[in-house]
Amino acid sequence: MSAPTLPEIITQMGAVIGTDCGLNGTLKFDFGEVGSVLIDGKSRPNTVSDGAGKTAECTISVSLSNFEEMVAGRLDGTSAFMQGKLRVSGDMGLAMRIGPILEKGRR
């Protein structure tokens, strides 16, 4: 199975985020060379877009494979942070709020 492309991640995440996910902030997933995804939880409706060249209140740096494991529920975000599999810069509160939002996508 091949890794999802950035446009696929944006589309899938947009469906999960919906019009008002309750994030109330901007959060960026930085996948390194693969690219990045920006969730704008301040705009109404909320948006998910390519994060290239954009800043956010919180940036989560994680490999695409670890991100996929987190989204699938096989890797806990807190455990990933403690194991050094992801780094958070900026508003830690936003990083903590994204887990339950992404979990909705597994239901």
Give the separation between CA 29 and CA 40, rounded to whole angstroms: 12
Q: What is the pLDDT along the chain (107 residues), one digit of tens a residue?
A: 567 899 999 999 999 999 999 999 999 999 999 999 999 999 999 999 999 999 999 999 999 999 999 988 899 989 999 999 999 999 999 999 988 888 876 65
Give the separation between CA 76 and CA 20, rounded to whole angstroms: 24
Q: What letter does residue 33 receive in the DSSP assignment?
A: G
Helices (H), the chain: 6-17, 64-72, 77-82, 92-104
In Å, how far from its chain's centre is CA 73?
14
Q: What letter does residue 81 receive in the DSSP assignment?
A: H
Identify the structural domains of the chain with CATH numbers, from first to last.
Answer: 6-102 (3.30.1050.10)
